[in-house]
Amino acid sequence: MYGFLAVLCIASALGNQGWQTLFNNFAVEKAGADSVQVGAIQSFREIPGFLTFFAVYILLLIAEHRFAVYSILLLGIGVMITGLFPTFEGLIITGMIMSVGFHFFETANQSLTLQYFSPERVPIVLAKFRSYTALTNIVAGVFIWIMAGFLSYQWMFFVIGALVFLAGLYSLRKNPVDELLPPQHKKLILKRKYWLFYVLNFLSGSRRQIFMVFAIFILVQKYHFSITYITILFVINNIITFVLSPYIGKAINRYGERTMLTVEYVFLIFVFLGYGLIENEMIVTGLYIVDNLFFSFAISINSFFRKQAEPADIAPSMAVGFTINHLTAVFLPVLGGILWVYNWRIPFLGGAFLAFLSLIFARLVPSKKDLANISAVK
> Rounded to whole angstroms, how far apart are CA atoms 120 and 137?
27
pLDDT of residue 218: 80
Closest by CA to 285, choosing from 270, 295, 275, 276, is: 275
pLDDT at residue 377, as a whole number: 58
Rounded distance between C-alpha atoms, residue 172 and residue 70, angstroms = 8
DSSP string of 191-259, one letter each residue = -GGGHHHHHHHHHHHHHHHHIIIIIHHHHHHTS---HHHHHHHHHHHHHHHHHHHHHHHHHHHHH-HHH
Structure confidence at residue 279 (pLDDT): 82
Q: What's the confidence (pLDDT) of residue 26?
A: 80
CATH number of 2-172+193-377: 1.20.1250.20
Give me the pLDDT at residue 73, please.
96
pTM, rounded to two decimals: 0.81
Where do the structural domains in the chain lie, given as residue ranges?
A: 2-172+193-377
* pLDDT, tens only, 26-75: 887 777 777 677 767 777 877 777 677 777 778 778 888 899 999 999 99
Residues of the chain with pLDDT under 50: none
pLDDT at 185: 67
* Predicted pLDDT of residue 52: 74
CA dist 40 and 47 (Å) reads 11
